[in-house]
Amino acid sequence: MATKKTAPAKKAATKAKTPRGNGGEPQYQSGGTHPTMTTAQGIPVPDNQNSLRSSPRGPTLLEDFILREKITHFDHERIPERIVHARGSAAHGYFELTKSLSKFTTAKILTEVGEKTPLFTRFSTVAGGAGSVDTPRDIRGFAVKVYTKEGNWDIVGNNAPVFFIQDAMKFPDLVHAVKMEPDRGFPQAASAHDTFWDFVSLMPESMHAVMWAMSDRAIPRSLRMMEGFGIHSFRLLNAKGESTFVKFHWRPKLGMQSTIWDEAVKLQAADNDFHRRDLFEAIDRGDYPEWEFGVQLFTQEQADKLPFDHLDPTKLIPEELIPVQIIGRMVLDRNPDNLFAETEQVAFCPANIVPGVDFSNDPLLQGRLFSYLDTQLSRLGGPNFHQIPINAPKCPFANHQRDGHMQMEVPKGRVNYEPSSLEDDSPRANAKQGFRSFAQQDDGVKGRVRAESFADHYSMPRMYFHSLNETEQAHLASAVVFELSKVGTPHVRERVVAHMRNVDPDLGQRIADGLGMAKLPPAIAPAAPIQDWEPSPALSIIENMKDTLQGRAIGILVADGSDMDSVNKIKIAAEKAGASVKLVAPKLAIKAKGGAQVAIDGQLAGTPSTIFDAVASILMPEEAAKLAKEAAAVDWFRDAFGHLKAIAACKGTQQILQAGGITPDGGVVDPKEVKEFLELAKTRQWAREPNVRTLC
Ligand code: HDE
């Protein structure tokens, strides 16, 4: 037996030592029919292992065009990453209209009910580089490219309905301030540092978006559990040229859910790709994420009655004032075939809109209309990026634009100008079908000014704070304290507290206390009187959570001797209710009760409880006793408990809970109570939080 095993290995080792030139056989073998490998010019490659040398131990020849072509291509495999939103995950899907807006717009995509239109959606973090982690505290990009019959429509939004600045002029400053500091090159993907807080504390207008960034919205549990917002007001135009203002909303079918900050931090180590993997795996198993598409429609008269200016992108319109009407849905049902070709090369642009939709005068939107096209020129290398498959419209398109870097088309004929009379089929403008802009009268005075109606920076963050429940308020206050405790400059910390006092006096006090500030800094004089507006209950995540197990993940800890009948009872019921279940054990296979060999999904040390929404364990007492001495097992439960997860712990497991200093509460049940456990698993055990964490 032993001789038989070692013999082929010896042979392979001898073979590897033999120098192989042209015609050398690769050492692996596999089935299938493999096409002949060629160079990019189509020349068959004879050997993909060895470069061309003057002799077996001599120098490599410059003549080796195969090597040079391969290395040159490799050297240029990366393109400049996006300056913001570099880290992204995406999927293909479709948009389906369920209610026509024909009264308000001529856009076919918003009037043809039942039509399924292909789309591509990319979610992203803002601050980190392309290789950064998925779970930092950050606003998420939510960009949708809909390939409509009338051209591409890009809704390039975020998972927060407001932005940090009112005018595009400040965007480069904001981004410089939030990204890693330029001298030291850190922190990556984090706003918890001096330059970010220095900047925002000098920009009162950013306070509302800061509140969103410090709220649980900025640490989503899954990309599938985030809302998306177009932020700016846009216009819809009907056949008569009448305009209605509109704000766009995406609502996740799974409802919203967030991580706990401590959990998000641990997830960064447990799984850098937590969100990317979650999205990919869900689509891969046919669990297609879905969002409702909603619109807030309002007239100029309604806009005039709002106590703030809707053109100011630091303001949201509470849906209690103007309801969100659901008019369609987005389903993501296909993973990209290639991350680079699609997710990386996709080029969004808020200026891509279709006839029947138009822009508003939001000064941030106006600046964005320039920026995206410009950024693609350097990111994708030239003006023909619209020909890359992921960017190309799926409807016919034609014009007289020609040449440039990477022209993929071969235009025919003599006519590349207009007017022309030489060919009958050259493209011409079409006044009837063409894009129209709203005929807005503008008789203002030119100047670099900020409208007076943009001056109130505190009433809306106050309204937002008051719309959160107590738990969410405490998370927000604690997040600000966490971030400021990473800020080394005392006057920056004080300035933030001074703003927060304006947002809400109690919030300011709590943050000051959390930082151990001896004295409250004086509040900053507001530019406009602060008003108390009605809270918007629709903005709370916890208060609006969906009563469902769909999209939740459950981990079950087992070991040798575990009773698979009990395990399967939980697994089957959980999966039936829409959850995904993974078995975790000290080894990748266990010998279950009765002797059956059972394959395991995750090895304990590499599968911490942070990646699950609820955990269960079915262990023989002797195995549990061993695990009670195992840090990974103790942490598994300690973290699950600390992150407010439901726990189903068998009798044996109690030893591990004890080792972790856990006093079971109402969220800890016996695994036999499958129904009760799965009910608890739908949400977090909020009542436990004061017992495990001191919040501000
Ligand atoms: Fe962007 N933004 N942005 N932004 N943005 C980019 O375009 C910019 C803003 C948003 O998945 C860039 O292709 C300016 C608001 C998303 O590929 C760049 C201003 C909102 C994405 C750019 C803003 C966004 C971007 C970088 C202020 C929410 C990622 C690479 C006037 C409504 C899209 C690129 C994707 C990307 C500029 C403000 C959302 C540099 C100048 C407000 C989701 O062009």
Q: How far apart are CA 639 and CA 263, in angstroms?
A: 8
Q: Looking at ligand 1, which atom is closest to the CA of residue 365?
A: 31
pLDDT digits (tens, 9 = 90+) for 333-365: 999 999 999 999 999 999 999 999 999 999 999
Beta strand ranges found along 46-150 (DSSP E): 88-97, 116-125, 140-148
Cβ atoms within 10 Å, residue 692: 16
Q: Looking at ligand 1, which atom is closest to the CA of residue 88?
A: 11
110: left (phi over 0), alpha (psi -120 to 50) or beta: alpha
Write down the pLDDT at residue 31. 74
Q: How far apart are CA 160 and CA 295, in angstroms?
A: 15
Residue 340: closest CA among 81, 132, 112: 81
Q: What is the pairing mode between strands 88-97 and 325-334?
A: antiparallel
Alpha-carbon distances of 13 from 2, 24, 47, 653, rounded to whole Å: 17, 15, 20, 49
Place of tokens 């004295």: 519
Nearest CA to ligand 1 atom 25: 85
Confidence of residue 489 (pLDDT cuts 50, 70, 90): very high
CB 276 within 8 A of CB 147: no
Q: How far apart are CA 230 and CA 158, in angstroms?
A: 7
Residue 621: closest CA among 651, 587, 594, 597: 651
CATH 1.20.1370.20 in the chain is located at 454-542
Residue 424 has pLDDT above 50, yes or no: yes
CATH 3.40.50.880 in the chain is located at 548-692
Residue 390 CB less than 6 A away from ligand 1: no
Domain 454-542 sits in CATH 1.20.1370.20: yes
CATH 2.40.180.10 in the chain is located at 65-387
Query: Three-class SS of residue 48?
Result: coil
Nearest CA to ligand 1 atom 43: 141
| Tokens coding 414 | 């003599």
Write down the pLDDT at residue 33. 84
Mutation probe of ligand 1 site: the residue of 120, 145, 372 with most atoms within 8 A of C-beta? 372
CB 99 within 8 A of CB 329: no
**pTM for the predicted model, two decimal places:** 0.94
CB 626 within 8 A of CB 617: no
Residue 140: closest CA among 275, 312, 267, 291: 275
Instruction: State in Å: Cα 86 to ligand 1 middle.
Output: 10
Q: How far apart are CA 166 and CA 205, in angstroms?
A: 7
* Angle of helix 459-467 versus helix 207-214 axis, rounded to 10: 20
Confidence of residue 207 (pLDDT cuts 50, 70, 90): very high
pLDDT digits (tens, 9 = 90+) for 273-308: 999 999 999 999 999 999 999 999 999 999 999 999
Peptide bond into 187 cis (omega under 30): yes
CB 675 within 8 A of CB 597: no
| Tokens coding 434 | 């063409």
Higher model confidence: residue 444 or residue 281?
281
Instruction: State in Å: Cα 202 to ligand 1 middle.
Output: 22
CATH of 548-692, one of 3.10.50.40, 3.40.50.880, 3.40.50.150, 3.40.50.300: 3.40.50.880
Residue 682 CB less than 6 A away from ligand 1: no
Q: How far apart are CA 468 and CA 453, in angstroms?
A: 26
pLDDT digits (tens, 9 = 90+) for 106-145: 999 999 999 999 999 999 999 999 999 999 999 999 999 9
Instruction: State in Å: Cα 372 to ligand 1 middle.
Output: 7
Residue 140 CB less than 6 A away from ligand 1: no
Q: What does the DSSP 8-state code read for residue 521?
A: P
| Tokens coding 235 | 């216009």
Return all residues near 33 (Cβ < 8 A) that are at least 6 apart.
none
Confidence of residue 2 (pLDDT cuts 50, 70, 90): very low
Return all residues near 158 (Cβ < 8 A) that are at least 6 apart.
139, 140, 141, 142, 228, 229, 231
Query: Three-class SS of residue 666?
Result: coil
Kindly write down the DSSP assignment for every residue of 151-201, as one continuous string. EEEEEEEESSS--S-SSGGGHHHHHHHHSPPTTT---TT---SHHHHHHHH
Beta strand ranges found along 98-136 (DSSP E): 116-125
| Tokens coding 338 | 């290639």
Residue 502 has pLDDT above 50, yes or no: yes
Mutation probe of ligand 1 site: the residue of 249, 371, 377, 386 with most atoms within 8 A of C-beta? 371
Measure the CA angle with vertex 350, ends 256 and 131; round to 5°.
60
Residue 294 CB less than 6 A away from ligand 1: no
pLDDT digits (tens, 9 = 90+) for 233-253: 999 999 999 999 999 999 999
| Tokens coding 29 | 């073998």
Q: How far apart are CA 677 and CA 682, in angstroms?
A: 9
Instruction: State in Å: Cα 164 to ligand 1 middle.
Output: 13
Instruction: State in Å: Cα 388 to ligand 1 middle.
Output: 20
What type of residue sits at position 262? Answer: D
Instruction: State in Å: Cα 84 to ligand 1 middle.
Output: 7
Q: How far apart are CA 589 and CA 591, in angstroms?
A: 7
CB 671 within 8 A of CB 618: yes
Residue 23 has pLDDT above 50, yes or no: no
What type of residue sits at position 492? Answer: V
Instruction: State in Å: Cα 171 to ligand 1 middle.
Output: 10
Query: Three-class SS of residue 615?
Result: strand
Report the catalytic residues. 85, 158
Top-level class of domain 65-387: mainly beta
Nearest CA to ligand 1 atom 11: 122
What type of residue sits at position 332? Answer: L
Residue 141 CB less than 6 A away from ligand 1: yes
Residue 228 CB less than 6 A away from ligand 1: no
Cβ atoms within 10 Å, residue 568: 13
Mutation probe of ligand 1 site: the residue of 119, 348, 373, 378 with most atoms within 8 A of C-beta? 348
Q: How far apart are CA 272 and CA 266, in angstroms?
A: 10
Confidence of residue 28 (pLDDT cuts 50, 70, 90): low
Write down the pLDDT at residue 536. 98
Peptide bond into 521 cis (omega under 30): no
Alpha-carbon distances of 23 from 13, 15, 36, 48, rounded to whole Å: 19, 14, 13, 10
Query: Three-class SS of residue 511?
Result: helix
Rounded to the nearest integer, the mean pLDDT of the chain is 94
Q: How far apart are CA 238 and CA 220, in angstroms?
A: 37
Residue 371 CB less than 6 A away from ligand 1: yes
Residue 366 CB less than 6 A away from ligand 1: no
Return all residues near 453 (Cβ < 8 A) that are at least 6 apart.
308, 309, 311, 312
Write down the pLDDT at residue 4. 41
